[in-house]
Amino acid sequence: MTAFTRTQNRAANALRPIKITRGYTVHAEGSVLIEFGATKVLCTASVEEKVPPHKRGSGEGWVTAEYGMLPRATHTRSDREAARGKQSGRTQEIQRLIGRSLRAVFDLKLLGERTIQLDCDVLQADGGTRTAAITGAFVAAQDAVNGLLAKGKIAQSPITAPVAAISVGIVDGTPLLDLEYVEDSACDTDMNVVMTGAGHFVEVQGTAEGVAFSRAEMTALLDLAEKGIGELMVLQQQALAA
Amino acid sequence: MTAFTRTQNRAANALRPIKITRGYTVHAEGSVLIEFGATKVLCTASVEEKVPPHKRGSGEGWVTAEYGMLPRATHTRSDREAARGKQSGRTQEIQRLIGRSLRAVFDLKLLGERTIQLDCDVLQADGGTRTAAITGAFVAAQDAVNGLLAKGKIAQSPITAPVAAISVGIVDGTPLLDLEYVEDSACDTDMNVVMTGAGHFVEVQGTAEGVAFSRAEMTALLDLAEKGIGELMVLQQQALAA
Amino acid sequence: MTAFTRTQNRAANALRPIKITRGYTVHAEGSVLIEFGATKVLCTASVEEKVPPHKRGSGEGWVTAEYGMLPRATHTRSDREAARGKQSGRTQEIQRLIGRSLRAVFDLKLLGERTIQLDCDVLQADGGTRTAAITGAFVAAQDAVNGLLAKGKIAQSPITAPVAAISVGIVDGTPLLDLEYVEDSACDTDMNVVMTGAGHFVEVQGTAEGVAFSRAEMTALLDLAEKGIGELMVLQQQALAA
Amino acid sequence: MTAFTRTQNRAANALRPIKITRGYTVHAEGSVLIEFGATKVLCTASVEEKVPPHKRGSGEGWVTAEYGMLPRATHTRSDREAARGKQSGRTQEIQRLIGRSLRAVFDLKLLGERTIQLDCDVLQADGGTRTAAITGAFVAAQDAVNGLLAKGKIAQSPITAPVAAISVGIVDGTPLLDLEYVEDSACDTDMNVVMTGAGHFVEVQGTAEGVAFSRAEMTALLDLAEKGIGELMVLQQQALAA
Amino acid sequence: MTAFTRTQNRAANALRPIKITRGYTVHAEGSVLIEFGATKVLCTASVEEKVPPHKRGSGEGWVTAEYGMLPRATHTRSDREAARGKQSGRTQEIQRLIGRSLRAVFDLKLLGERTIQLDCDVLQADGGTRTAAITGAFVAAQDAVNGLLAKGKIAQSPITAPVAAISVGIVDGTPLLDLEYVEDSACDTDMNVVMTGAGHFVEVQGTAEGVAFSRAEMTALLDLAEKGIGELMVLQQQALAA
Amino acid sequence: MTAFTRTQNRAANALRPIKITRGYTVHAEGSVLIEFGATKVLCTASVEEKVPPHKRGSGEGWVTAEYGMLPRATHTRSDREAARGKQSGRTQEIQRLIGRSLRAVFDLKLLGERTIQLDCDVLQADGGTRTAAITGAFVAAQDAVNGLLAKGKIAQSPITAPVAAISVGIVDGTPLLDLEYVEDSACDTDMNVVMTGAGHFVEVQGTAEGVAFSRAEMTALLDLAEKGIGELMVLQQQALAA
């Protein structure tokens, strides 16, 4: 129906090559470099034996995330947020999304009064950094949990299901899976979908950048996202089994 | 199907009483107090004969929004953001959503090099402040545009369609329309939907606060939202015709 | 003696129409909309069962205030202080004045170790926002204190006297009571006076914007202020009795 | 009428020893160390050949002030405002007062499009820092203006009158002139008065710290202030003539 | 002379294994991952066709640097500077050092009115991050300059010499080259030395963390640094030739 | 050997006239005005009976420093850091240097759990403010320690040695001691050296502003610095004996 051609003739419903590297850095309890094509995000999970004020004395733990992008992760250099003195609204939106997505698959009671702090830093950006971050952060979090189990700090895993995320969008009328930067810039509708291993939705965030989208288009996008997330979960499990 | 009882026996698919008061304050080019039940948001539209740097010289205008909440709009007092020295991530997320939603129904070329600045300030909160803000901001923006047309500053309206928003959610397994605060706090899934007069989606933001939601639940929620937004648009037009 | 004509032929020594609406919003322990003509300020009193560090363990309570103005409360839009990341010097000056004025009529020992936090937010500005804020905040504080008495949290009212405030100024050589915006902008001298029910001064802040003022002019201004504050106190009591 | 004894048996209506040292530092166009007893404030006047945005192209100049206190100017060390990242409300109030007071005796048209920036930094504090600052800043400003006249940059002095300031207060029922720190802490009422050489008021800021003050007390305080400011103006002229 | 044993029996005067990877990320004009043992720093050079205000219209360019550390680059997680809202004193010190060091080998006139912005981000820290950053930034800067030459934007290289840096220190009385983290924590004296290819000093920053150091010790440290920097420069040239 | 002539024919290896005034202000436990020629820095030492978090419960004390410059200490006015809302990188670098230098001569165990806070504020700048600050801060710290000994709060002095600092540099090929502003601006190399009474180095910070410096030049500079610091220590002891 459309003549739109993707980089390297990728099919409209195909993911980019995905690569998940565990143990990318040595200090963190979980450290994963995740690549969605040219997008590279370093996700670390740090275990801290304390919780934020609203959880103190609750017997429950906490899972939270921060997101950043190196200044030259992008085509043109963007300002360093630490130098400007504040995180942009976009950054805050993304890190709140990552935190909520991971908490959705955690039983905070089983975690005990400790925090898993996820840091997702984009080394190189080519679209889909937030979905790569969620998908990689899950693997880092699983490694951190495995460490807690191995040390006997917890008896049972607080992780209730895997979680992964993908972007979908409509470019020139065609629904596409896993948008890269040029597609993301050109798309009319952009949707980020986060799902659990059970095939349920954790987050759906669809935005019409140009023309508003119809109910039928929404259906097509959700179908694509379900397919992609299913594939990502296989890759997560393969990486964790390695 | 469920035993959940809403305040004042409201039906699961019913909006709260909606009230739209134009001309609520005197200085702004558009000034609307919108009430969704006990939620009260003052939406003003200010016309400024300048544009932000990224639009200068483009011949295009800009539409943007800011959101705030009076410290005691809520059950317990929250810190004043001006005193703390920064807007929260939640505030930034909401004002970015309002801005995108309104821009989706503006032809910025027809607006000319001027800015419509929307300020949405919550006087009293009882759930649904962001959807009330979008719905009220549209009416304020329409008033501002009518003023520009009346003064001959623009020849043709840059507004391409109405826009309105509503929240939907699942509480104790039941899909509900237009959540009030106690429902919002209790819900498993919370979704904010923004639509145009043509029945298309501008934004869909669904979040599983507790259990992840199924595709079938998503379908039910979107159905509810479509119904509610249709009703809101009738009320917007009635208010504008008054 | 002068040809200066006020809006609606108001007499030089007359207040604007004053309106005090209690219970304007539902969550706060005291919530008052006060109107001095077109100036509208929402004053809420929040009771918090804690005190700031300098009062901890003292057995005494604290009364403090914050002040804000909605961006489009004024003729032209002013920046949102939360977005700019700081409160202006003017805002800080005003909120410190409101706090001192209210503390002047509180016996902090009788209040016990709790805080009454006053929030004065200007919905619409037409001169005199700080004096309206003080006058309205007293009513909101009285409501909050009545609530504490009713719940048996305190046995005796910590309020020792009513307090109210008014602006006076010299415009074109004529001393005027209760300046509205156009008078305030044009005046040579602007004075804000805060008094107790006993007819004593809590604050006198006079500023020569243009020509410095003589001792005789000061006397005339204080006479006017005494008259106006006496009238405001009658209105406060009527509102509280309603 | 009272048994209150001041340091070194100072009379109730006497100033502390006042010392005005011109040329205290070498770089500024005006540099004055002013001492009110143990209170020492360094006041510099810097001439800058530019004006702030609101004066650009107006043909008028600007006079403004900043105020600071060295961390250990006081009995116990206070935080450094530069390290905390913001100026306190008190600091902003004081520097706004100094700026207004000086502008009251400047004809900004005669100054031309340049700025006189006054910096008042407290080296040692013992009460009355803001009144010392205003009194010293006038001398520094006069020196800066004399420099402009000498260099031929302006043909006529923009200074229309001298300006000086003093604090007065009621301690244990006695009106006192020029409060030192222990008196200031103990006083019921504290008033700062700024006057011109013509004997007119520029600013009157009276605050009841404890008991509210009567009209008769106000009269007594203004009498004292008039006397003190008259004496300060003699000392200013002597310093400038030296 | 001492019994101190280094990791993997490294000699006191030996560098750790050094690895320089060019083209580590794709967007920047120069992108180098430099590894000093377990210390890994990503250095990017971005060319921007503009200069900061103090260089505008001068015909000269500018070279500057920013430094950051990912939160979990270290053994225990450190706060994200962007989230805290400011860069630490340590960060600012380091980025100023990197900027000065690189400018020391640039002829800013030959660069023309453009900026080379160096970003040095620590992915993994094990001591010596600032010296690795300088050494890697030089390679990234050279790549950026080569790109400008290749595109004909400049006719002659503005780089006047190579520059590299190393740390030296005294641990338990023994002078050591290229301190790793455990050595750095234990050392009495820590010195960072920056040199040009001509064997001259650009920066020498020696700090006695514990006992002050003698002139003889200083001599020994400078000897070590000269040796190490000589070796680093060979490695830089090999990397650039690859 | 060179034709460079210093102000007032000062010899290349001569200090400027040094003046150390103890008790310059009255409130601080130590208060010293130190003058290196026209450079004047007020150094106060404040004793606080508490320590920062990282020392709590350690039985050890802390010594730290803050540095500031009055806006018109310099030839042209610089922005007030408190008004800008942050300390510059330069300021932070200097105050960290002062803190480290003083801690190098303190036995923190002997100090007990209390803090000596040094504040170094530049009243007038003409080069060498950081070295004057360190040299003066030592005298202020000694006065504060003497006070603690006199009050019996500590039994033994925690000061292990005197500490002082001087700048040296190469101007037009000539090594100079104690650079004043015009020399500092013109120099190729600028080095700040901090030494103890035992003739050992605490800090050496050399920077090539223009041409990199040779090992021989470094040797000459260190020789000069040793000479100058020896003389400063005599002056410190004379001041303390006065």
pLDDT by residue (tens digit) across E186-226? 888 999 999 999 999 999 999 997 789 999 999 999 999 99
B202–A contact, CB cutoff 8 A: yes
Tell whether E162 is within 8 A of chain A (Cβ): no
Phi, psi of F43 (to 5 degrees): -115, 120
C-beta atoms of D200 and C208 within 8 A: yes
For residue F221, the chain E residues in CB contact (below 8 A) are none
CB-based contact, D81 to chain F, within 8 Å: yes
Query: Helix or strand or coil: residue F71?
Result: coil
E100 interfacial to chain F (CB closer than 8 Å): yes
Given E27, E83, E123, which is nearest A72 (Cβ)? E27
F77 is in an annotated binding site: no
Is the CB of A78 inside 8 Å of chain E's CB atoms?
A: no
Reported as a single tens digit per residue, the pLDDT across A109-140 is 999 999 999 999 999 999 999 999 999 999 99
Rounded Cα distance between F75 and F69, Å, is 12
With an 8 Å Cβ cutoff, are D82 and F77 in contact?
Answer: no
Q: Are strands A115-124 and A163-171 parallel, antiparallel or unpaired?
A: unpaired
Contact yes or no for C80 and B83 at CB 8 A:
no
Task: Give which of B97, B193, B207 to mutate to test A binding, by max A Cβ within 10 Å.
Answer: B207
B56 is in an annotated binding site: no
Q: Testing the interface with F: which of D35, D80, D98 to mutate, by most F Cβ within 10 A?
A: D80
Inter-residue contact F229 to F138 (CB < 8 Å): no
State whether C208 and D222 contact (CB < 8 Å). no
Nearest CA among A217, A201, A236, A194 for reference residue A96 = A194
Residues of F in contact with D47 (CB under 8 A): none
Q: In a 10 Å sphere around its CB, with 0-12 CB exposed, 13-18 middle and 19+ buried, how is residue B57 labelled?
A: exposed
Picking from E74, E81, E117, the nearest residue to A77 by CB comes out as E117
Residues of C whose CB is below 8 A from B117: 71, 77
Report residue A209's pLDDT band, with 50, 70 and 90 as the boundaries.
Answer: confident
Q: Are strands D115-124 and D62-69 parallel, antiparallel or unpaired?
A: parallel
Cα separation of C92 and C66, whole Å? 8
Interface residue C222 vs chain D (CB under 8 A): yes
Q: Is C130 annotated as a binding residue?
A: yes
Residue in E79, E9, E76, E70 with CA at minimum distance from that of residue E40: E70
In this complex, the residue of F26, F42, F74 whose CB is nearest that of residue D27 is F74
Residue B85 with chain C: CB contacts under 8 Å = 85-86
Q: Which of residues 24-43 of E touch A (CB under 8 A)?
A: 25-28, 31, 38, 40, 42
Chain A neighbors of B86, CB-CB under 8 A: 86
List the Cα angle E176/E178/E179 in 5-degree steps. Answer: 75
DSSP string, D59-104: S--EEEEEEEE-TTSSSS----HHHHTS--HHHHHHHHHHHHHHHT
Q: Do E201 and F195 touch (CB under 8 A)?
A: no
CB distance D196–C218 less than 8 Å? no
C158/chain B closest Cα distance in angstroms:
22
SS3 E15: coil
Rounded Cα distance between A17 and A15, Å, is: 6
Just give the CATH number of C11-241.
Answer: 3.30.230.70
Residue A236 pLDDT > 50: yes
Pair of tokens at residue B139: 């009416």
The pLDDT of residue A5? 87
Query: Which of C97, C189, C201 to substitute to test the interface with D, most D CBs within 10 Å?
Result: C201
Whether D83 and F85 lie within 8 Å, measured CB to CB: no
Mean pLDDT by 10 residues, chain C (242 residues): 77 97 98 98 98 95 98 96 93 96 97 98 98 98 98 97 97 94 90 95 92 94 97 98 92
pLDDT tens profile F125-179: 999 999 999 999 999 999 999 999 999 999 999 999 999 999 999 998 899 999 9
Please indicate if any CB of chain C lies within 8 Å of the CB of D206.
Answer: yes
pLDDT score of A1 = 44
> Token match 């040579």: residue?
C188
Q: Does E212 touch chain F (CB under 8 A)?
A: yes
Q: Say whether E92 and F96 touch across the interface (CB within 8 A).
A: no
| B108 within 8 A of B60, measured Cβ to Cβ | yes
What are the tens digits of pLDDT across the range F183-220?
998 888 999 999 999 999 999 999 997 789 999 999 99
Do residues A110 and A157 lie in contact, with contact meaning Cβ atoms separated by under 8 Å? yes
Rounded to a whole number of angstroms, the distance from the CA of B121 to the nearest CA of chain C is 8
Angstroms from B210 CA to nearest CA on chain C: 27
The answer to whether the Cβ–Cβ distance between F119 and D77 falls below 8 Å is yes
Find the Cα–Cα–Cα–Cα dihedral F213, F216, F218, F219, rounded to 10°. Answer: -170
Which residue in chain A has the smallest CA separation from B92? A89
- Nearest Cα neighbor of C46 from B122, B83, B77 is B77
* CA Rg value for chain E: 18
Residue D152 in tokens: 């031929």
Concatenated DSSP letters for F5-45? --GGG--TT-PPPEEEEETSSSSSSEEEEEEETTEEEEEEE
F203 contact residues in E (CB cutoff 8 A): 205-208
Candidates B92, B201, B214; nearest CB to A212: B201
DSSP, residue by residue, D162-205? -EEEEEEEEETTEEEES--HHHHHH-SEEEEEEEETTS-EEEEE
Q: Is A200 on the interface with B (CB under 8 A)?
A: yes
C100 part of contact set with chain D, CB < 8 Å = yes
How many whole angstroms separate alpha carbon E66 and alpha carbon E91? 8
Model confidence at B118, in pLDDT bands (50, 70, 90)? very high
A56 Cβ under 8 Å from any chain E Cβ = no
Position D26, amino acid: V
pLDDT of B188 strictly over 90: no
- Pairing type for strands B201-208 and A201-208 reads antiparallel
Contact call for A213 and B200, based on CB within 8 A: yes
Contact state of C86 with D86 under an 8 Å Cβ cutoff:
yes
Whether A128 has a binding-site annotation, put simply, is yes
HSE, side-chain direction, 13 A CA sphere, residue D216: 2
Would you place residue A210 in the very low, low, confident or very high pLDDT band (cuts 50, 70, 90)?
Answer: confident
What's the pTM? 0.93
For residue F1, pLDDT beyond 60: no
Kindly tell me the sign of the dihedral angle through the C-alpha atoms of F169, F175, F179, F184.
Answer: negative
Is B91 in the C-facing interface, judged by CB distances under 8 Å? Answer: yes
CB contact under 8 A, F212 and E204: no
User: Would the CB atoms of F87 and D87 count as touching at under 8 Å?
Assistant: no
Put residue E214 in one of left, alpha, beta given phi > 0 → left and psi -120 to 50 → alpha: beta
F167 to chain E, any CB pair closer than 8 A? The answer is no
* pLDDT values of chain D reduced to their tens digit, one per residue, 242 residues: 455 689 989 999 999 999 999 999 999 999 999 999 999 999 999 999 999 999 999 999 999 999 999 999 999 999 999 999 999 999 999 999 999 999 999 999 999 999 999 999 999 999 999 999 999 999 999 999 999 999 999 999 999 999 999 999 999 889 999 999 999 988 889 999 999 999 999 999 999 977 899 999 999 999 999 999 999 999 999 999 98
Structure confidence at residue D209 (pLDDT) = 78
Element (H, E) at A219: helix A215-241
The alpha carbon of residue A88 and the mean position of all alpha carbons in its chain are separated, in whole angstroms, by 18
Instruction: Work out the number of other CB atoms within 10 angstroms of the CB of residue F242.
Output: 8
Q: Which residue of E has its CA nearest to A23?
A: E124
